[in-house]
Structure 1
Amino acid sequence: MSYPMPEAPLGVALIGTGFMGKCHAMAWRNVATVFGGAHPRLEVLADATPESAARHAAQFGFARSSTDWQAAVADAAVDVVSITTPNGMHRPMAEAALKAGKHVWLEKPMALTLGDATAMAALAAGHPGQVTILGYNYTRSPAYQAARALIGEGALGAPLAFRGVYDEDYSADPLIPWSWRLTHAGGGLGALGDLGCHLVAQMLGLMGPVAEVTAMTQIAVPERPSPEGPKPVENEDSALALIRFASGAQGSFATSRVARGRKCRLQWEVHCTGGTLVFDQENMNELWVHRAGEAGFTRHLSGPEQPDFAAFCPAPGHNFGFNEQKVIEARDLCAAIAGGPAAAPGFAAGLEIERIIHAMAASQGKSIAIGGGHD
């Protein structure tokens, strides 16, 4: 596929300097080096304190720093806004950027509530000339793209079932302090909003729309220590779901932030009428494929024959990584701004992901139908 890139530099504002803020900064600094086009202008970085903003602007290569995110969003030199702040700020910042005429690159989850996500998608639909994209970087893995291509080409027959897991253990220790991430007002959903939404994004790409879910959630650690004493955990530590896809295929889904020993176990398999696909993000350069009639699975190692790998390295076996996925995400945004393929997932497709994870959170053993479509 051909991806046009902007011939004139895009002016960038970055809001937030944590883990994903740094990922966005690295992606902006590398996207033209890898994919061509004009190098973006890193105009302004906004953070909570003057000291942090100035320090990170110098480190990340931004021309200016600020503690006023509203001013950064409205800045005339800015064309696109990267938002990597805590979840509760996603809606006001994204909406302000759209109203200011900017393109928006927003980290997942899209919003705290389904109502917020619905309003954001509606606003984006009213600004068709502005590109929105959400930070579902795992869908940029060359191995995942190869799996999608095999399914799309019908190489393994029709998909029958999906089994997916995304587990980490960053909250497994009950002595880990309480934080805003554990509240509905600050974090929104728990494991579903932080981890499960990534699995849903991949699942939709492999299996198509979801028709119905039946799920249950669990709070494994009801209270966490804080300087003021124990505070309650409001959102889920883990979730399990059964899924019926619009195609008639079935699926199972599990996610946990308290799975001891698991670091980034984003793992799935797809059973098809003519074979099976298996992937694990902790071994993200491998796709295992079984075809009917073969004795077992064949290991396919990511290489330049797979989408986007060659832009980084011409040699197979030189492994692809997490931050490279983010550079591809930046490329997709830039290409859409330049008139190329639509960036995905935009806010409309992000709303579909939100519908699914919020239905899982609300289900508690009841079957819930999923409405809506995706871009």
Structure 2
Amino acid sequence: MKQIIQSFKSGETILEEIPVPQVSRGSVLIKTSRSLVSLGTERMLVEFGKANLVQKARQQPDKVKQVLDKIKTDGLAPTLEAVFNKLGQPLPLGYCNVGKVIAVGEGVTEFSVGDRVASNGAHAEYVNIPKNLVASIPDNVTDEEAAFTVIGAIGLQGIRLCEPTFGETIVVIGLGLIGLLTAELLVANGCRVIGVDFDTAKTEIARKKGVLVVNPAAGDDVIKSVIDITNGIGADGVIITASAKTNDIISQAAQMSRKRGRVILVGVIGLNLSRAEFYEKELSFQVSCSYGPGRYDELYEHGGIDYPIGFVRWTEKRNFETILQSISTGKLDVKSLITERVALESYKEIYDNISNKGSIASILEYPEESNASNTVVLHQGNFNAGGAGIGIIGAGNFTSMTMLPALKTANASIVSIASASGLSGTIMAKKYNIAKSTTDYNEILRDPAVNLVMITTRHNQHARMVTAALKAGKHVFVEKPLALTGEELEGIVAAYDGTKTLTVGFNRRFSPHIQKIKKLVGNSPMNVIATMNAGSLPANLWVHDMKVGGGRIIGEACHFIDLITFLTGSKVKAVVMNAMGTNPQDNTDNASILLKYENGSTGVINYFANGSKSYSKERVEVYSQERIAIMDNFRVTEGFGFKGFSKLKTGLDKGHKDQFKLLIDRVKSGGDSLIPFDEILNTTRASFGAIESLKTGAWVSIT
């Protein structure tokens, strides 16, 4: 299938051939018939992509600070590599999609195959969309009319925050597509609406829809015009749908408002607010978030959990349905806003001149017949069955920024890469000369040319995919953690027969710093303190979800359990964990873990999310036989009391490159797993034990 993407690096807009996504649980697969180009939003993305690095930095000062902090901790080269890798990842364009449902995922009862639906899907021939971001289209609404659903919901959410009442005067600043839809909805709501824009064509459309217009380009004084129209009172509310860098708009909004008026920001403008202007009138100011309540809520959008209507009357899905109802009943006329209809293949007619385009609404029309393959073959590689061919499942940041560069250095032979959407996998396949991109990971398991399967998906998929790959007779590498529950782990134990290797991505034991310390201290009993200055993550991130990410202890702290196991040359016998807070639960990212080892060694893991990002991220201290080794952030290791050793200094090296090189050599030449299977099981069980200890407040034995 074909999809329109935007390169952040070059600014080029591309029609890319990618595999069709698989329908997922809680979602529907839609074959697109029409999509609407949001000229305002997409123009900003295109212009940002075309900007040079300095211009990009000026537009995102918060990102610049993150880069500077990363340089302090990781060094210049790894930081620049990460930045350019991020810029090399394209963005799918579009969020106003209409089509027919062709497949329904598990757990979806609201939709059936053949239903016409509107969604926030991208400009792609097929899209897989969670059910709470999909709405059924009334029979009397055409596909191109329904394409206005999502962008209409953006304007509607701004109106809901403004809370206009019948007869109030509301000013809409900016009569682009969202502004015109907002103004017409306000007129339908019984408001007197004043529209402000410099474009005569747009103000004329607004005038025909019953809007009083003010055009500064025609000599109108915006503030005085509003004051005059309202007989000196001022506007009850101002909704800003404009996109501009100036601070003048927010100042004008304040000056034209009545006392205790409301100002709602839907667009993007400068926000250097004057305290005096807002203070004297006691104005309220609020920023509107996209389509409405539920937006960016992982549980609502991807978990399919709706907000009870008695507590949250208008969610983003219910806003979608309201727009469709308004079109169906004739209260909202969107046909008059369509200025052009363009075939998908002719997309450049829109995007090549998007910065100077006078169009209001551009509709993309999709072919009735299109390629529906879930695999795209980019080239015919020379792969032999039973060789060292690699299939990668997962195309996230770890795959793109860490694994693929390391595999390239190791001259790996990659047959296929699987990704959920198909886009990220295809982009990586092109960059790293991978033969095939697919959205069905079972294609990789069935491929005789694939001998090593590498899994880097979300954590809740690891155990299932590891088990399936082992049963398919493949060598397996899986990024940590191996499993999230004891039941999952036992399933892996049952599938593992030792004929193929199983490696978990405990890369730190392969770092030259850890290898050096191991060589210096040997296997004598020791005390090891590992500190992870992990940094905080947003509370709604999937990693914190115990069913999806397993939490940061199981998901990340397992790295250090393995590292200490490697250094001590022993296995964990018992574990206890204490977390910060008066009532810690099973999910924490501020905890200290104490480990007892079979050979008498002791390990302490301090996993903290409340430290400064300007400090080193990882630190390991080893105390043994009146000697001390201290490793700082995998860049510097110092020794005290060792004969002939005082310091090792390298660039940031967490062991990924050596790990993957050794793994590929092992698959080619044969031999045992890089990490003994019993150590992998012990580490995984110890991470489960840490969580159990937090619940019980007692030591947990690891069997």
Shorter-normalised TM-score: what interval? 0.7 to 0.9
For 1:239, the aligned partner's letter is A
Aligned to 1:353: 683
Does residue 1:191 correspond to 2:556, yes or no? no
Aligned to 2:591: 239
Does residue 1:201 correspond to 2:562, yes or no? yes
CA distance in 1, matches of 2:425, 2:500: 27
What is the correspondence of 1:90-105 to structure 2 with a 5 Å cutoff? 90-105=462-477
Does residue 1:370 correspond to 2:686, yes or no? no
CA distance in 1, matches of 2:448, 2:486: 32
What is the correspondence of 1:6-155 to structure 2 with a 5 Å cutoff? 10-22=388-400, 23-32=402-411, 40-124=412-496, 126=497, 128-152=498-522
Aligned to 1:326: 656
Change (3 A) 1:326 1:251: closer
What is the correspondence of 1:134-283 to structure 2 with a 5 Å cutoff? 134-152=504-522, 158-171=524-537, 176=538, 178-188=540-550, 190-207=551-568, 208-218=570-580, 235-261=587-613, 265-280=617-632, 282=633
For 1:289, the aligned partner's letter is G
| Contact 1:48 1:67 (8 Å CA) reproduced | yes
Q: Report SS of the residue matched to 2:674.
A: coil
The alpha carbon displacement at 1:53 in A equals: 2.8
Change (3 A) 1:276 1:50: closer
Aligned to 2:265: none
| Contact 2:576 2:693 (8 Å CA) reproduced | yes
CA distance in 2, matches of 1:50, 1:264: 36
Q: Percent identity?
A: 23
Cα offsets for 1:184-231 (capped at 9, x unmatched):
21111x221233111111100112222222212357999xxxxxxxxx
Change (3 A) 1:100 1:178: same
Cα offsets for 1:9-53 (capped at 9, x unmatched):
521111111122122222222113xxxxxxx33211111113333
Cα offsets for 1:89-132 (capped at 9, x unmatched):
101111111111111111001111132123213322x2x22111
Change (3 A) 1:86 1:106: same
Cα offsets for 1:208-261 (capped at 9, x unmatched):
222222212357999xxxxxxxxxx97222221223222223332211234332
Gaps of 5+ in 2: 1-383
Change (3 A) 1:25 1:19: same
CA distance in 2, matches of 1:279, 1:55: 37
Cα offsets for 1:248-300 (capped at 9, x unmatched):
233322112343326762212121123111112x2x232211118x9xx9641
Q: Report SS of the residue matched to 2:657.
A: helix
For 1:21, the aligned partner's letter is T
The alpha carbon displacement at 1:67 in A equals: 0.6
| Contact 1:191 1:257 (8 Å CA) reproduced | no
Cα offsets for 1:118-164 (capped at 9, x unmatched):
3213322x2x2211111111111111101111122x7xxx4342222
For 2:418, the aligned partner's letter is A
Q: Report SS of the residue matched to 1:336.
A: helix
For 1:14, the aligned partner's letter is I
| Contact 2:388 2:668 (8 Å CA) reproduced | no
Change (3 A) 1:258 1:19: farther
Of 635, 640, 643, which aligns to 1:285? 635
Q: Report SS of the residue matched to 2:410.
A: helix
Gaps of 5+ in 1: 1-5, 33-39, 223-232, 303-316
CA distance in 1, matches of 2:468, 2:478: 12
Of 338, 345, 348, which aligns to 2:668? 338
Change (3 A) 1:340 1:72: closer
Change (3 A) 1:252 1:28: closer
Q: Report SS of the residue matched to 2:612.
A: coil
CA distance in 1, matches of 2:581, 2:430: 41
What is the CA RMSD across the aligned residues, in angstroms?
A: 2.7
Change (3 A) 1:93 1:346: farther
CA distance in 1, matches of 2:406, 2:678: 24
- TM-score of the pair, normalised by structure 2: 0.42
CA distance in 2, matches of 1:50, 1:298: 50
| Contact 2:621 2:629 (8 Å CA) reproduced | yes
| Contact 2:635 2:652 (8 Å CA) reproduced | yes
CA distance in 1, matches of 2:414, 2:582: 43
For 1:181, the aligned partner's letter is V
For 2:535, the aligned partner's letter is D
Larger Rg, first or second structure (1 or 2)? 2
CA distance in 1, matches of 2:394, 2:676: 20
CA distance in 2, matches of 1:286, 1:107: 25
For 1:285, the aligned partner's letter is R
CA distance in 1, matches of 2:566, 2:530: 13
CA distance in 2, matches of 1:67, 1:20: 18
Q: Report SS of the residue matched to 1:159.
A: coil
Change (3 A) 1:241 1:234: closer
Change (3 A) 1:246 1:347: closer
| Contact 1:168 1:262 (8 Å CA) reproduced | no
Q: Report SS of the residue matched to 1:338.
A: helix
Q: Tell me which of the two structures has the higher relative contact order, counting C-alpha pairs closer than 8 angstroms and 6 or more residues apart.
A: 1
Change (3 A) 1:219 1:354: farther
| Contact 1:169 1:262 (8 Å CA) reproduced | no
| Contact 1:74 1:97 (8 Å CA) reproduced | no
The alpha carbon displacement at 1:83 in A equals: 0.5
| Contact 1:167 1:195 (8 Å CA) reproduced | no
Change (3 A) 1:290 1:159: farther
Aligned to 2:647: 300
